[in-house]
Structure 1
Amino acid sequence: MIGARIRQLRTERGLTLAQLAAATGVSSGLISQVERDLADPSLETLRKIAKVLDLPLFSLFQEPDGEAVAVVRRGGRMVVKSPAGGISYTRVSPGHGRLEVLEGHLLPGGSSAAEPWTHPSEECVLVLRGRLVVEVAGAEHLLEAGDSCYFDSALPHRYLNPGDEPADFLIAATPPSY
């Protein structure tokens, strides 16, 4: 699904595969494999592609406009993983609309990104299990199970797990712009 969506967005913008590869710093071969669903891109690769296409990351997974009521079954959730940072996200919301809800899982010592990054939305994170540091504009906020943190995502931010057990958390972002 994601490969066809990337190809569609790339061609709509008049970009060749080689141009997208050069702009992202990702090889043409990898982008070709992703577009043909022969390779699963990392979270970092998807962020680079989304940035060049001038789109929020999760819009690469956007579903067509749906019904007024949508049920998302646990087994049918979209998953994005980043093995390098030890983080994975599953989309709890249906993939359309003005609100994105994600369930995050961060391994001990892991981070959501190598460096803090920005995107145009508002974000609220709720820790379900473990400990999570929310780094926003250089300030670190330690959260434990049951704690939450709200911030403007236009500020540089990322999530870190300082503990020795995995951290599970929910993120609500509006508008969707990961």
Structure 2
Amino acid sequence: MSSDSSVPPTHGPAAREVADPAPHEGWLERAIAARLRALRREAGTSLAETAARVGISKAMLSKIENARTSCSLTTLARLAEALDVPVTSFFRDAEGPREAVYTAAGAGARIVARGTRVGHDYTLLGGLRGPHARMEAHLVELTSRSEVFPLFQHPGTELLYMLAGVMVYGHGDTRYTMRPGDALQLDGEGVHGPQELVELPIRFLSVVSYGEVA
């Protein structure tokens, strides 16, 4: 039986060879390759030394480190043993593509919230749901004095960062005078909201993290 020399040989437990992957394909191989290369260099071992410990060829290890092939869990386990690291170390950056939310200046959605009727303007700067948390960011503008202030209470943790103006902000029984550059982090379960609008217009950034996602 003749063999096709165009088919790349398989070495040990390594699986298939990957040609140049599309941007969304091969991301797992690329993530593992980057971690493997970094871990091997941290350990101070050469390609040849590591390949010998694992029982694969130097060429195959080079392909793995350059995301040119997918390797089996057996090979990963041997690599982990050779580098004296947990197998999970190879997957630290392999959860998949990371998300980001970009909102250009002036492009945020204007939303109606509890303070809208008393001159409070809310602009949603974006929301992001990650594997363990959900986060929302708002730009809040207070442009009208009012004796009626909305109070808020919600799950999660909130960060306020003052951009302009001066206000007294309450959280529970405590009052904070907020000026540009001041930051306040608070437990959203505690009743909170502006208590006194000292110097208008007032602008501040509100970022709420809702913690673990069910």
**TM bin (shorter chain):** 0.5 to 0.7
Structure 1 residue 112: deviation in Å? 8.5
Structure 1 residue 85: deviation in Å? 1.8
| Matched-pair identity in % | 19
The structure number with the bigger radius of gyration is 2
Q: Distance in 1 between matches of 2:171 and 2:123?
A: 22
Q: TM-score, normalised by structure 1?
A: 0.53
Deviations 1:51-109 (A, max 9, x none): xxxxxxxxxxxxxxxx7133212343111244422101111124645111110001242
Structure 1 residue 154: deviation in Å? 0.1
Asked if 1:107 corresponds to 2:140, the answer is no
Opposite residue 169 of structure 2, the aligned amino acid is V
Q: Any conservation in 2 of the 1:108–1:161 contact (CA below 8 Å)?
A: no
Larger RCO (CA under 8 A, 6+ residues apart): 1
Q: Distance in 2 between matches of 1:111 and 1:154?
A: 24
Partner of 1:70: 101
Q: Distance in 2 between matches of 1:74 and 1:120?
A: 28
Q: Distance in 2 between matches of 1:95 and 1:113?
A: 28
Change over 3 Å in CA distance of 1:69–1:117 after alignment to 2? closer
**Which 5+ residue runs of structure 1 have no aligned equivalent?**
1-66
Asked if 1:126 corresponds to 2:161, the answer is yes
Deviations 1:7-53 (A, max 9, x none): xxxxxxxxxxxxxxxxxxxxxxxxxxxxxxxxxxxxxxxxxxxxxxx
Change over 3 Å in CA distance of 1:103–1:119 after alignment to 2? same
- The correspondence for 2:197, drawn from 162, 170, 175, is 162
Q: Distance in 2 between matches of 1:129 and 1:158?
A: 17
Count of paired positions: 110
Change over 3 Å in CA distance of 1:73–1:83 after alignment to 2? same
Partner of 1:90: 123
Opposite residue 169 of structure 1, the aligned amino acid is F
